[in-house]
Amino acid sequence: MTPPDSTRSSREGFLGQLYAGRFRWDLLAWPAPDPVERAAGDAIVAELGAFLREAVDPLEVERTGELPAGLLSAYRERGYLKLSLPAALGGRGLSCYNTFRALVAAQSWCMPAGYVLAIHTGFGCGALLPALPEGTLRAHVTKRLMEGAISGWADTEPTGAANRLASTVAEPIEGGRAYLLRGSKVFIGNGSIADLLNVSATVREGEREEVRVFVVDTDSPGFSVRQVHQLMGFRGLPIAALELDGVRVGRERMISGDEHHWRASPLLEPLSSLGRMYTIAGASLAIAKRCLRWSVDFAGRRRINGRPLNEYDEIRHMISATAADVLAIESIVQLGLDGVETADGLTRRWFEQIAAKNLCSRACWRVVDRTMSLLAAEGYETAGSKASRGAPPEPLEATMREARGLRIAGGVDFQFDNRAALTGLMSFHTEPSPPLPEPEPVTDPRLGEAGARHLTETARQTTALARACRALAPREALAEQEHTLILLSQIGGELFLRASVLARAAAQPDTAPLADVACAASGVRLAALWAELEAEPAPVALSAGQLGELLADLG
Ligand SMILES: Cc1cc2nc3c(=O)[nH]c(=O)nc-3n(C[C@H](O)[C@H](O)[C@H](O)COP(=O)(O)OP(=O)(O)OC[C@H]3O[C@@H](n4cnc5c(N)ncnc54)[C@H](O)[C@@H]3O)c2cc1C
């Protein structure tokens, strides 16, 4: 892939345009159905699903905290570590959307077993191939992948992932021909099983301090696994704390660029956003769909006062809301993955993929929380306990623990909104803002009355959002207005969610009733966001000094 100017391209995408005040309905044309593509996706979903049902007992994984011993070898032998790689590299050559579908199928059966594949596919060294020019590094990565290497991305550190500089350092040696990596990494998915890892580290050369990514073979001297973490959820996931104690890497293993940080390089951040689609959005969809199935099943079999639960008004309201959240996740993903096989296509969808991380994981959380209320005590009980008394052993309790992790993995939700606003939304503050475009009426004859109303309202709020963005303080002061930025980012996300379900309803009219439910629920969330944004005076936050006093008072 030839690196595009990612910021410019992404501004030309739907969300980039939305922040500029243009509601570009034309950019959300629903992907045309392709029967060949669909059949390829159905085939891998069926194959991978059947394999996992045979090879993995999810309740046993939850009980023991271990994946089955031969699972990794089977993944390797069956080509599941090369889902998206081209056939020339021995891969399955799946499109991004079919890769996503395959990963959702795996995560639906057993989250940690599927998440291993999702991390490898989305964040492993193979995921970076589009950013690697022909040369030694690309040849090495290709060779290792063809041998069946499994990998991941080691970024987070005990000092905190949000720090601008990595505390892991890459010290130049041998006259700059190589580096010694020193530092600690934590919470690294696939960390304890990886053959190859993308490792971020700060390079200090002269006055310059830059954060680069290095491709590290985990059998290198100085590399070790310190601990496999025990998380709140994802039991069985090989997520580890790692030590790099003078690991030598040749200069050619550095993924270069002139930028101060790997995130600023043209393709790496969009590629990692694609990785979040496979991991976070994929897991969110897998979980939300399971919850929908469990909700419908429970409401059908439970009778209260002789009346089936699914005849009660509030229960139908709740299950409709869950189905609408599932529709929203699916629609956001399908548009977010449309046309991303080229570098230009990927960067055009970059802001949409960034927004998808929080939209999907929060929708998933709403669904899980609602499902827990619906299933009541049977939801709160562990699957093992239910199995032993003969109740349907749906693992809702474990699923809730997993779902919460999705709002942290890949970036804590609120801080992710803040960063998204600074990168995407605020890119308009780098230059004199162009005049706000005159709002144009947006109509689509394929939408019914409710859909048309939601479309008009979404376009109206787009203009309001652009106006609010322009009213912000000068760029230098923006970073200090985190709460405002977070609210604006969430408003932009909600507008994208509404537009996504409406785009689908326009192409697939049978989804229109659920799109209506999704837009109505989003409208309620938007009203709260605008109310908070416009509240005068702004809700007070305690100062750092007052927080200190509070702590002292608490004793
Ligand atoms: C299931 C799971 C899988 C994961 N897989 C991986 C993986 O494969 N590779 C990997 O590298 N990491 C992985 N992580 C780690 C994850 O990406 C980080 O936990 C996440 O990015 C947050 O970083 P942190 O925990 O270091 O928090 P920190 O960065 O230390 O942040 C601590 C708190 O400060 C807040 N904060 C930070 N900056 C600001 C700011 N400017 N303003 C206001 N608040 C701020 C944060 O939001 C957070 O609440 C995984 C985590 C989980 C739960």
What pLDDT digit, counting tens, does each position of 70-87 carry? 999 999 999 999 999 999
> 26: buried, middle or exposed (CB in 10 Å: 19+, 13-18, 0-12)?
exposed
Residues having CB within 6 Å of any atom of ligand 1: 119, 123, 152-156, 160-162, 187-189, 231, 234, 239, 405, 408-412, 415, 482
Please give the distance, rounded to the nearest whole angstrom, from the Cα atom of residue 128 to the centre of ligand 1: 21
> Strand pairing of 169-173 and 196-205?
parallel
Which residue minimizes the CA distance to atom 20 of ligand 1?
411
Backbone angles phi, psi at 210, to 5 degrees: -130, 145
pLDDT value, residue 126: 95
Average pLDDT value for the chain: 93
Ligand 1 atom closest to 156 (CA): 11
pLDDT digits (tens, 9 = 90+) for 371-429: 999 999 999 999 999 999 999 999 999 999 999 999 999 999 999 999 998 877 666 65
Hey, what amino acid is at 340?
Answer: V
548 Cβ contact partners less than 8 Å away, ≥ 6 residues apart: none
Which residue minimizes the CA distance to atom 52 of ligand 1?
409
**Site to substitute for ligand 1 among 111, 408, 416, most atoms within 8 A of C-beta:** 408
- Residue whose C-alpha is closest to residue 127's, from 105, 163, 99, 162: 99
**Site to substitute for ligand 1 among 115, 155, 156, 273, most atoms within 8 A of C-beta:** 156
Hey, what amino acid is at 80?
Answer: Y
Q: What radius of gyration, in Å, describes the C-alpha atoms of the chain? A: 24
Name the 3-class secondary structure at 244: strand
The encoded tokens of residue 474 equal 């000068």
Name the 3-class secondary structure at 33: coil
Asked if 231 and 241 count as a contact pair (C-beta separation under 8 A), the reply is: no
Range 373-397 burial, b when 16+ CB lie within 10 A, else e: ebbeebbebbbeebeeeeeebbbbb
Asked if 112 and 65 count as a contact pair (C-beta separation under 8 A), the reply is: no
Q: What pLDDT band is residue 3 in, cutting at 50, 70 and 90?
A: very low
Please give the distance, rounded to the nearest whole angstrom, from the Cα atom of residue 401 to the centre of ligand 1: 17
Backbone angles phi, psi at 171, to 5 degrees: -95, 125
**Site to substitute for ligand 1 among 184, 412, 547, most atoms within 8 A of C-beta:** 412
Please give the distance, rounded to the nearest whole angstrom, from the Cα atom of residue 187 to the centre of ligand 1: 9
Contacts of 435-443 spanning 24+ positions with Cβ under 8 A: 436/21, 436/463, 436/466, 436/467, 436/470, 437/20, 437/21, 437/22, 439/21, 439/23, 439/463, 442/23, 442/25
Which residue minimizes the CA distance to atom 44 of ligand 1?
415
Asked if 423 and 478 count as a contact pair (C-beta separation under 8 A), the reply is: no
pLDDT digits (tens, 9 = 90+) for 320-334: 999 999 999 999 999
Residue 204's DSSP bridge partners are 209
Asked if 472 and 484 count as a contact pair (C-beta separation under 8 A), the reply is: yes
pLDDT digits (tens, 9 = 90+) for 505-529: 999 999 999 999 999 999 999 999 9
Q: For residue 133, say if its preceding peptide bond is cis, omega within 30 degrees of 0.
A: no
